[in-house]
Structure 1
């Protein structure tokens, strides 16, 4: 089972490598001080949903066992979880927290917050890394070609992470996102190698608006039927 540290390629997570460089002669001699890092109790999830359980929820070809949670029951749990998250986001917005209080709350909810965006352009790539560590989404990478679609990403952090995990080999992505006239922020200044592996569509009307059926149909048709 890969941990998030292993997925991101850390050999000794949290430890700095020693440098063999000779320090400059005029450098001030370091003074040793005693410091104890503040203990942070990260918020923990109350339950754990596996990828297999999620796949079963949306699989209409199988008949769930009467001894286990039925697909309809699990789907209802997903709905309730989503409603709970949306309610929490609304209450957080209504609280009008200061920037400092918001950052502190975000750090408590995310043990990886200190990493920021790490080597990625888009920090949401770290969210995908955590999902991968929990649900093992990329466990088959290295044994077969990988293809994916990124909705509302042109491309976004999720695409960045998946291409990174595949080591830029045998991977192909397809994304669609809203186009903002006169703005280039969606390009994320990604390297050419990324753009070569992820094709971007803005729909039939070139707006990328997924609320329009014609754009959804256009995107579906633009993605090859083959997996890769």
Structure 2
């Protein structure tokens, strides 16, 4: 009101917290000549020596080299710790203990294959991270992850570089040399838009090998983007997409799995392929803490498809999320018994704050084991039968939309629903001390690492000035290690597409410029939100919250 002496902002907390003096120091300039010690420089004499070569005030305004973090060694060579099963696939009578275990959904026993206390700490950290606004989360993720700048290189998708990472560590692209196959063959399951396929075909061409691949994925947003792949030969001659008997690509349906297996076995003279890759995943927004639970059937169907299409001596890799439940651990146990060796790997190219990891299996010991195939079909049939009627709709190909009938685990428990909780008598796994010890060790280590990565993400969200890693150098080292092209200019374009761009070509990968604020493909970039709001960030996320306990948490389970 006019004439009033009341200050309308007196009770505004943010106004009160605003400093009257900026905390950012102004640029420091050298004092003028009159304030320096010694005689003033001679006027109008360019050759006269200065007191100090750095006395020019402009020198202090020039940009300085960035300061990178050096408190942690960032490796570029992936170390694989293999787990070898000494017994034959059938030894020990464990196949007689296979059963489809159906129980009412209840609380999970995290002490069975991990330690409940550290799982609870991880979940608490995930809940804390969930309050970060999307803009700050994207910015923090791009700065906290030392491998973030690796990106997708020359390929259609980041998953291609992830496959290059795994290949360098495990030698997938040489699988045909172990199987005795003249040409390199592979099957790519649930992996649209086809990053794995693009890399494998590109690598085979670079190695001078003939290759052939088959793939099955859902039709829709994440379908194979064959037209954008960085491949020279006609794709129809080296790769064949397949969408099942019903044309949907839904791997949950038995007839689609059998149709895909018939296609491959017919084309390979009933021998199967040298390599099977499986990279399926879908949106679990609203129940991120139980991503493993929602992915169980997907992983089972991918493993089942592998057993029907992989030749003896071939390799397999599948993406999973956590390994806390008996169902998932028992599925890994089946792989452990039927391959010469397996490993659980978190690739460098997999963001450290998520629960993603890969089961890598080397050299299949027995092709198409009928007992396992029939059992997994029975488990899949039971899982389909237990779905509510409203989930009978076809699954959708999307990373942004939940699947039909998606329900958080808490609601399933509340509704008294049943689910398939196991694939065998759990004592089979418990009595194999070697396998059980490795699963617990890997779970504890990865759980602690993920919690630390989430805490680091929180710190970067709270402090936009926090120093980052030298991501350009790390990117160069990793690409060299994985035998991928290293661009001359990190901030430059993928020049392969420049000619198309000049002539009106439409390619989504024309601009390969890296930005620490870059959004995922398809999301709009809001430049106005990139300003430095360091004071608000520190207030919003309480940068120092919980810091007193971080050192204790980091060392408790080492």
Q: Shared fold (TM-score greater than 0.5)?
A: yes
Where is the strand percentage greater, Structure 1 or Structure 2? 2
RMSD of aligned residue pairs (Cα, Å): 4.3
- 1:160 aligned onto 2:198: yes
Larger radius of gyration: 2
Provide structure 2 residue ranges, at least 5 long, that are not aligned to the other structure: 1-60, 93-112, 275-558
Aligned residues: 174
Partner of 1:150: 188
CA shift for structure 1 position 218:
0.9
Q: Deviations over 1:161-184 (max 9, x none)?
A: 11121126311111000012xx68
Partner of 2:89: 60
Q: How far apart, CA to CA, are the structure 2 residues paired with 1:162 and 1:114? A: 22
Q: How far apart, CA to CA, are the structure 2 residues paired with 1:89 and 1:209? A: 35
Whether the aligned pair in 1 keeps the contact of 2:158 and 2:195 (CA below 8 Å) is: yes
CA shift for structure 1 position 187:
2.3
Q: How far apart, CA to CA, are the structure 2 residues paired with 1:186 and 1:171? A: 18
Q: 1:178 aligns with which of 218, 230, 236?
A: 218
Whether the aligned pair in 1 keeps the contact of 2:192 and 2:222 (CA below 8 Å) is: no
- 1:34 aligned onto 2:67: no
Q: How far apart, CA to CA, are the structure 2 residues paired with 1:92 and 1:165? A: 42
Partner of 2:135: 99
CA shift for structure 1 position 197:
1.5
- TM-score normalised to the size of structure 2? 0.26
- 1:116 aligned onto 2:151: yes
CA shift for structure 1 position 104:
3.2
Q: 1:125 aligns with which of 146, 160, 180?
A: 160
Instruction: Call closer, same or farther: CA 1:108–1:166 in 2, change over 3 Å.
Output: farther
Q: How far apart, CA to CA, are the structure 2 residues paired with 1:57 and 1:88? A: 39
User: What pairs with 1:194-209 in structure 2 (closer than 5 Å)?
Assistant: 195=235, 196-209=237-250
Other structure's SS at 1:178 match:
coil
Q: Which has the higher contact order (CA 8 A, sep 6+)?
A: 2
Q: 1:211 aligns with which of 210, 229, 252?
A: 252
- TM-score normalised to the size of structure 1? 0.57
Provide structure 1 residue ranges, at least 5 long, that are not aligned to the other structure: 1-30, 64-78
Partner of 1:221: 262
